[in-house]
Structure 1
Amino acid sequence: MANVPTITFNNGNKFPMFGLGTWKSEPGKVTQAVKDAIDAGYRHLDCAHVYENEPEVGAGIAAKISEGVVKREDLFITSKLWNTYHNPEAVEPALKVTLKNLGLDYLDLYLIHWPFAFKDGDVLFPLNANKKIEFADHDFVPTWKAMEALYKKGLVKNIGISNFNKDQIERLLESAEVVPQTNQVECSPFLNQLPLSDYCRSKNITITAYSPLGSGDKKLLEDSKFESMAKKYGKSVAQILIKYQVQRGHIVIPKSVTKSRIIENYNIWDFEISKEDMGELNNMDINLRTCPFSESKDAKLYPFNAKY
Structure 2
Amino acid sequence: MVLNKKNIPKVGFGLWKISQEDCAEAVYNAIKAGYRHLDSACDYGNEEQVGEGIKRAIDDGLCLREDLFVASKLWNSFHAKEHVELALQKSLDDLQLDYLDLYLVHFPIASKFVPIETRYPPEWIADPDADNPRVELAGVPLIETWQAMEAVCEKGLATQIGVCNYNTGLLHDLMSYAKIKPSMLQIESHPYLTQEKLIRLAKQYNIQVTAFSPLGALSYLELDMAGAAESVIEQNVVKQAASRTGKTPAQVVLRWGVQRGNAIIPKTSRPERLIENLDIFDFELSEQEMAAISALNIHRRFNDPGDFCEAAFNTFNPIYD
TM-score (norm 1): 0.91
CA distance in 2, matches of 1:66, 1:253: 25
Aligned match for 2:42, one of 44, 49, 52: 49
Q: Where does structure 1 lack aligned partners over 5 or more consecutive residues?
A: 1-10
Counterpart for residue 118 of structure 2: none
Distance 1:157 1:288, change over 3 A: same
Quick check: 1:92 aligned with 2:94? no
* Counterpart check, 1:280 vs 2:292: yes
Aligned to 2:123: 124
- Give the structure 2 partner of residue 246 of structure 1: 258
Question: What's the counterpart of residue 175 of structure 1?
Answer: 177
Task: Say which is worse superposed, 77-86 or 211-220, in terms of deviation.
Answer: 211-220
Give the Cα–Cα distance (whole angstroms) in 2 for the partners of residues 221 and 248 of structure 1: 18
1:78-89 pair list within 5 angstroms: 78-89=71-82
Structure 2 residue 94 is the aligned partner of structure 1 residue 106: no
**Corresponding residue number in structure 2 for 1:6:** none
Secondary structure in 2 aligned to 1:201? helix
Q: Tell me the percent identity.
A: 39
Aligned with 1:291 (options 299, 303, 320)? 303
2:119 is aligned to none
CA distance in 1, matches of 2:19, 2:5: 35
Structure 1 segments of 4+ aligned residues over 6 angstroms from their partners: 297-300
1:209 alignment partner in structure 2:
211
TM-superposed CA distance for 1:269, in Å, is 1.1
| 1:35 lines up with 2:47 in the alignment | no
Aligned match of 1:150: 152
C-alpha contact 2:36 2:68 (8 A) present in aligned 1: yes
Per the alignment, residue 19 of structure 2 pairs with: 26
- The one-letter code of the counterpart of 1:202 is Q
Cα distance, 1:129 vs. partner? 4.2
Shift of 1:131: 2.6
Are 2:273 and 1:261 aligned? Answer: yes
Aligned equivalent of 1:7? none
- Preserved CA contact (<8 Å) 1:190 1:287: yes
SS at match of 2:8: strand
1:117 aligned counterpart, secondary structure: coil
Alignment match, 1:303 = 319
Tell me if the contact between 2:73 and 2:105 (Cα under 8 Å) persists in the aligned partners. yes
Residue-by-residue CA offset, 1:94-142 (whole Å, 9 max, x unaligned) = 0000000001000000000000111111432215643321111111111
Kept after mapping to 1: 8 A contact 2:12/2:38: yes
Partners of 1:49 and 1:12 lie apart in 2 by 22
Aligned to 1:118, what secondary structure does the other structure show?
Answer: coil
Contact 1:45–1:77 under 8 Å retained in 2: yes
Gaps of 5+ in 2: 116-121, 221-225
Which sits farther off after the overlay, 104-113 or 272-281?
272-281
Contact kept, 8 Å, 1:114 with 1:161, in 2: the verdict is yes
- The equivalent residue for 1:187 is 189
